């Protein structure tokens, strides 16, 4: 029972480099989310999707892009990484926006 799987688990980037984080869920959930977690800040919503082919901005979307081409996958892209994007990124999914969210194990990203 995989649930929500994030790849990679760790990554170090140089400033200006690009990368894509992949999130996959096997629960047939409509909603998927990307959060970032920083010390003392809790979890802040970057982008989310309410179904295949849809995306929407969250609280802190600048510097990130997302795509949901398939229902089970939600990709988070950084086009030009900055040190301020050093964080732990969590993907989550849920049936609806008001139901329990299931989280992946996180991706620790360091931008130097």
Among 11, 19, 52, 58, binds other proteins (CB under 8 A): 58
Nearest to 90 by CA among 78, 101, 79: 101
Residue (17 or 72) nearer to other proteins, CB: 72
Residue (56 or 112) nearer to other proteins, CB: 56
User: Least Å distance between CB 45 and other proteins?
Assistant: 6
Distance, CA of 76 to chain centre: 5
CA distance linking residue 45 with residue 91, whole number of Å: 10
Contacts (CB under 8 A) with other proteins, residues 86-105: 90, 92, 97-98, 100-101, 103-105
Among 19, 22, 50, 60, binds other proteins (CB under 8 A): 50
Helices (H), the chain: none
Residue (6 or 85) nearer to other proteins, CB: 6
Q: Which token pair is 78? A: 């950084």
User: Least Å distance between CB 12 and other proteins?
Assistant: 17
13 part of the interface to other proteins, by CB under 8 A: no
Rounded to 5 degrees, φ, ψ at 38 are: -125, 145
CA distance linking residue 112 with residue 96, whole number of Å: 37
């Amino acid at each position: 029972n995989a649930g929500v799987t994030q790849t990679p688990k760790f990554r170090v980037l140089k400033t200006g480099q690009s990368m894509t984080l992949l999130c996959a869920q096997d629960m047939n959930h409509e909603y998927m989310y990307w959060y970032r977690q920083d010390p003392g800040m809790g979890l802040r919503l970057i982008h989310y999707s309410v179904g295949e082919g849809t995306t929407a901005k969250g609280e802190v979307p600048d510097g990130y892009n997302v795509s949901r081409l398939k229902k089970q996958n939600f990709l988070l892209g950084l086009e030009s990484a900055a040190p301020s994007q050093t964080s732990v990124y969590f993907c989550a999914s849920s049936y609806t926006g008001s139901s329990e969210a299931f989280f992946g194990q996180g991706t620790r990203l360091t931008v130097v």
